[in-house]
Copies of this chain bind each other. A is one copy, B any other.
């Protein structure tokens, strides 16, 4: 026990508990299991095709992730997403990302970020290419995050950032994709990268703060529109 299955690439069959964890996590993140959804241990074990023991292990991990919460009496439920919880998450996100960017701007290997900069300079063209371009753009964001994580050299901080990103993934799903916002965000990322390359922690921190603020405004606006659309 207690090792997660080795990363992709090894010909090792997934343990049942890992399979259950990944399935449930994926379904929560992609919205199939909606916020607030109530789930029972026996029914989920049967649906996924594992026995209760590995299902319980998967659920325990999802509880630790904050994606589900135990209910009194029976079962567990997918955690809710409210406007309040989005604000709260962004408050935590800001504290962590500003610290991470400061450290990355201090400790970085510039070459990594210089390569990333080249890609981000082309982001507007990429975003004009439709879905495939947008998908590639999101991969670039992931690469930037990975580079910052590596530059930070702090497992505690990176762990906390990853926990935040898990929740963000769900929130992003709720927010409608806004082309103008994506273009603006690309420019904000470029500025952050430039600050990191320049080794200027203060500029990097402030640029990140502004980026997060604009991101939050955009998310909330999108959710507001959706709510209005649902009005009966």
Q: Which residues of A contact B (CB under 8 A)?
A: 1-4, 41, 53, 56-57, 59-61, 63-64, 66, 70-72, 74-76, 85, 88-89, 91-92, 94-96, 98-99, 103, 154-157, 159-160, 163-164, 167
The 9 A-B residue pairs with the shortest CB-CB distance in the complex, in nearest-first order: A2-B70, A64-B64, A95-B99, A88-B154, A92-B156, A3-B70, A95-B95, A92-B157, A60-B60
CB pair A91–B1 under 8 Å, yes or no, is no
User: Cβ of B160 and Cβ of A92 under 8 Å apart?
Assistant: yes
Report the nearest B residue to A74, measured CB to CB: B1
Tell me the bound Cα distance from A159 to B85 in angstroms.
13
The smallest C-beta distance from A95 to any residue of chain B, in angstroms, reads 4
Residue in contact with A2 in the complex, picked from B63, B155, B159, CB distance below 8 Å? B63
Kindly report how many copies of this chain are found in the complex they form together: 2
- Give Cα A127–Cα B64 distance, bound, in whole angstroms: 38
Q: Which of B1, B61, B98, B160 contacts A64 (CB under 8 A)? A: B61
The smallest C-beta distance from A206 to any residue of chain B, in angstroms, reads 15
Kindly name the residue among A60, A70, A94, A96 whose own CB sees the greatest number of chain B CB atoms within 10 A.
A60
Q: A60-B61, A95-B95, A99-B95 are in contact. Are A72 and B154 (CB under 8 A)?
A: no
Indicate if the CB atoms of B103 and A91 lie closer than 8 Å.
Answer: yes
A75 to B88, CA, bound (A): 37
* Given A61-B60, A61-B64, A64-B64: A92 touches B1 (CB 8 Å cut-off): no
Contacts of A53 in B (CB 8 A): 53
**Given the complex of chains A and B, what is the CA–CA distance between A72 and B3 in angstroms?**
6
Q: Return A42 CB to nearest CB of chain B, in Å.
A: 10
B-side contacts of A167, CB under 8 Å = 156
CB < 8 Å: which of B1, B56, B159, B163 contacts A75? B1
- The closest CB in chain B to the CB of A77 belongs to B2
Does B1 contact A70, Cβ atoms closer than 8 Å? Answer: yes
Within 8 Å CB of A41, what residues of B?
1
Interface centre among A41, A70, A85, A156, by most chain B C-beta atoms within 10 angstroms, is A156
